[in-house]
Structure 1
Amino acid sequence: MTVQDQTPEREDELDPSEIHNVLRNDRRRRAIQHLRESDGPIDVDTLAEHIASVETGESPPPRDVRKSVYVSLHQTHLPKLDDLEIVDYDQRDQQLELRDRAEEVEVYMEVVSEDDISWSTYYFGVGLLGLLTLLAVRLNLLFVSSFGVEFWSWYFLVLFTLSATYHAYSEQKQQVLGL
């Protein structure tokens, strides 16, 4: 990849290094994700409480954690996202909302979300499960041997085919939507 390939196509697009810088911080990613899931503007207190809950796994989160998250959002993360025009952050009213430019960053967040697995991991898992199942049939283990090799071979062939079809469909849908 050349330097020319890394420059944005339009002048108003974010530079890849800026996108990487935004996404490498968990709190910025969580802020963008929560704003995307919200209906309209939210206040910084609500966002801080949400992020603190996610980080601690407690609801409500401890006050000191909530305060720490609030301070880091207010002093560092939200001004940065505002400067890059990803969010509209009104420091006086403590309100924030996603801007259109957030889509440039969200594309990279949707590749594999935090709670998801990649397609390659999925296919590897299905393949490994298929091999172990066929091995169990050959060795007459568990209940799987009662169905026979032919049944399990067809089962995993159909599973792979349906998975690949869905994978291709979802990839095509993302391309059509410009994601």
Structure 2
Amino acid sequence: MQLFTQSGLLETEIHDILRNDRRRAVLKHLRQTTSDVTLRDLAEGIAEIETGESPPPKNIRESVYNSLHQTHLPKLDERGVISYDKNRKTIALEERARAVNIYMEVVTKYGITWADYYRGIATLSLLTVLAVTIGVPGLSEAGTLLVTSGFLLVVALSTLYQLWTQRWLYLRQLVG
């Protein structure tokens, strides 16, 4: 049984896209911008990540450029995840990138999932409010309203941070 995502991509297609380091690097790089990216800039950025050198060696830049141009970008374009203008050598994310992004962002850059993070905040807040309510010394003086407000502020700030890191998704919707 084949499972389709809301974007119309098969899960197997998404896994195939994400199986390659360079395709993942393309998507990560494009998420950080709201405008089109040139193939040259993209290849240089990926080569810097792969080598850890800035600027990366010319032979590595050329290797990345060629593999992106001949293999990875056409594949992503064919799946509708990006638009790749071969003549102008420009690349931009498409709406279908959202479906792929869900599979890429299972784990935050800190090593936990957003779901685990929010679950941890919720559990900690519940236990803290419970401790305040039953009068645990040191916490009961703070009061339930203050503790609850503090945790709501943490959730709000975390949500803003998460939205900021995903801003390309929302900005592209507004622009396009």
| Alpha-carbon RMSD | 3.7
Within the candidate set 107, 110, 128, 1:112 is matched to: 107
Larger mean Cα displacement after TM superposition, 107-116 or 54-63: 107-116
Q: How many residues align?
A: 141
User: Aligned runs of 1:25-44 on 2, under 5 Å?
Assistant: 25-44=20-39
State the TM-score, normalized to the length of structure 1.
0.63
**2 CA distance for matches of 1:114 and 1:24?**
18
Q: Does 1:13 align with 2:8?
A: yes
Conserved 8 A contact 2:83-2:93: yes
Change (3 A) 1:59 1:7: same
User: Aligned runs of 1:90-101 on 2, under 5 Å?
Assistant: 90-101=85-96
Q: Which has the higher contact order (CA 8 A, sep 6+)?
A: 2
Change (3 A) 1:71 1:91: same
Partner in structure 2 of residue 74 of structure 1: 69
Percentage of pairs with the same residue? 45
State the TM-score, normalized to the length of structure 2.
0.64
Partner in structure 1 of residue 167 of structure 2: none
Moved over 2 A (4+): 113-121
Within the candidate set 78, 86, 95, 1:83 is matched to: 78
Conserved 8 A contact 2:5-2:99: no
Within the candidate set 44, 57, 71, 1:62 is matched to: 57
Change (3 A) 1:26 1:20: same
**Secondary structure at the counterpart of residue 13 of structure 1:** coil
Report the residue type matching 2:13 in the other structure.
E
Report the residue type matching 1:29 in the other structure.
R
Change (3 A) 1:56 1:102: same
**Secondary structure at the counterpart of residue 47 of structure 1:** helix
Conserved 8 A contact 2:5-2:11: no
**1 CA distance for matches of 2:50 and 2:3?**
34
**Secondary structure at the counterpart of residue 8 of structure 2:** coil
Structure 1 gaps of 5+ residues are 124-149, 152-157, 175-179
Residues 44-98 of structure 1: CA distance to partner in whole angstroms, max 9, x if unpaired?
Answer: 0000000000111111111111111111101110000000010000111101100
Change (3 A) 1:7 1:29: same
**1 CA distance for matches of 2:5 and 2:39?**
33
